[in-house]
Amino acid sequence: GRNWEGFAADPYLTGVAMETTIKGHQDAGVQATPKHFIGNEQETQRNPNFDSTGTNVIQEAVSSNIDDRTMHELYLWPFADAI
């Protein structure tokens, strides 16, 4: 995933750290904003990989399917707090 560009895999801890960090930057006069929005978690396997003929799938694409309730309760609030 993209955890190396964030604070943690835990959405709560990431939200707390993101809000505090962005507030600190903005208090110092630096423009800051959250990035890598919800569901953008795949660094690899975003697209299917095919063999040399281009017809046989070697690796299926990975999808981050998130239902509405989970998205709002776990993933969306950190971005709202950061803004």
Q: Is pLDDT at 25 greater than 90 in this prediction?
A: yes
Q: What one-letter code names the amino acid at 66? A: I
* Average pLDDT value for the chain: 80
Q: Sorting pLDDT into bands at 50, 70 and 90, what band is 50? A: confident
pLDDT computed for residue 45 by the predictor: 64
pTM of the model: 0.59
pLDDT computed for residue 41 by the predictor: 63
Q: What one-letter code names the amino acid at 45? A: Q
- For 23-47, letters b (16+ CB in 10 Å) and e give eeeeeeeeeeebeeeeeebeeeeee
CA–CA gap between residue 75 and residue 78 (Å, rounded) = 6
CA–CA gap between residue 10 and residue 23 (Å, rounded) = 20
What are the extents of the domains in the chain? 3-82
The mean per-residue pLDDT over the stretch 36-56 comes to 73
